[in-house]
Amino acid sequence: MVTGVPGWLGNRLVKILVKGLPDLPELSENSTGRLVRCLYLPNSDIKHILSLGKNVSCIKGDITKPETLINFFQDVEGSTLFHIAGIVHPMQGIRQLYRVNVEGTKNVLRSAVVSGIKRVIIVSSNSPVGCNPHQGHLFDETSPYNPYLSYGRSKMIMEKMVHEISESGSIEIVIIRPPWFYGPDQPPRQTLFFKMIRDGKMPIVGSGKNLRSMAYVDNICQGLLLCEKVENAKGKIYWIADACPYSMNEIVDTVENLLEDEFNIPVKHKRLKLPCLAGNFAERIDRAFQSIGRYNEKIHVLGEMNKNIACSIERARDELGYDPKINLEEGMRRAITWCLERGLIK
């Protein structure tokens, strides 16, 4: 069972549940061939999901409206639920973050308990613990909560609520924290990131040496499958990301080099260089907007551009056997290929 379809990670996970994980076929042996039931929002385009075959079914529902979840949770005792649905950039103001990420998750878990779901794997975020206190510091699972703005607070509240339900023993729950996603099935905002690099308009705030953990979507899916498979994962939280963090300069350089050297796409070889103060100023504006319930995606993203947001995946390696196979260069290569195949960049 998968919530968050159609969506970037949800779509990718459903495809992997049906066809297997390309870089780890041995992990797919116990996953492929199962029935996959997806929850999708009304008016969503699910043709791509339905084209995956007869083992996939889609049921309409809205996690913020518990009465719409009845059919999704019908006759699913003993199943696994991957709860991926959530919102990062709210279109309806800050309240939407809490309505979807907190109340929506609560609705899903209540229904899961009643219907006899065996285990729920929930996708959280890096945002509940905020930004690293200094470069070189890595978050791990013992890092204290220090949420970054409203999204971080919504995910922190969600995590605390989930822990309470998990400790009650009524259902098995595992939480993963992936950072910045990249890879196939990406939304328009990630394609815009490629276009800005191509056109020499990508902002580098400060030196560009600040570190960001990133997570190729198939690496995240590997983590999700392992969280289902490993018995002792229940009740725990795991950071799931690529093997190591990357500097912003490295991220942008990698995309630029791939576009030009491998895909023969001319690039401007320019950066929109901004002082570190520009990021700090954007963050202050973002905080002011959010304090009155408003949200501006571009200002929010600019405010994060000079931050260190980096994590350690050692617990996932040790306890889950997590082994991220795809690094930045290969992941971006696959993402660009996906875009080109669909005519999204030229």
The domain limits of the chain are 2-185+213-243+309-325
pLDDT at 27 over 90: no
pLDDT at 15 over 80: yes
pLDDT at 29 over 90: no
Residue 22's pLDDT band (boundaries 50, 70, 90)? confident
Strand order in the sheet with 119-123: 56-60, 36-40, 2-5, 80-83, 119-123, 172-177, 237-239
- Name the range with the highest mean pLDDT among 33-42, 48-57, 146-155: 146-155
Q: What is the largest CA-CA distance in the chain?
A: 57
For the domain covering 2-185+213-243+309-325, report its CATH number.
3.40.50.720
Q: How far is CA 77 from the centre of its chain?
A: 27
**258-307 pLDDT, tens per residue?**
999 999 999 999 999 999 999 999 999 999 999 999 999 999 999 999 99
Q: What is the mean pLDDT of residues 108-119?
A: 97
pTM, two decimals, is 0.96
pLDDT at 99 over 90: yes
Q: Are β-strands 211-212 and 246-247 bridged in parallel, bridged antiparallel, or unpaired?
A: antiparallel
Count CB-CB contacts under 10 A for residue 264: 7
pLDDT at 26 over 90: no
pLDDT at 30 over 80: no
Give start and end residues of each alpha helix (H) in the chain: 8-19, 25-28, 47-50, 95-97, 105-115, 149-167, 188-198, 217-229, 248-257, 276-291, 297-304, 314-315, 328-341
Closest CA to 201 of 306, 301, 271, 304: 271
Q: What's the mean pLDDT when you consider all of the chain?
A: 96
**41-64 pLDDT, tens per residue?**
999 999 999 999 999 999 999 999
Q: What is the mean pLDDT of residues 220-246?
A: 97
Residue 164's pLDDT band (boundaries 50, 70, 90)? very high
**How much of the chain exceeds pLDDT 70, in percent?**
99
The answer to whether 268 touches 199, Cβ cutoff 8 Å, is yes
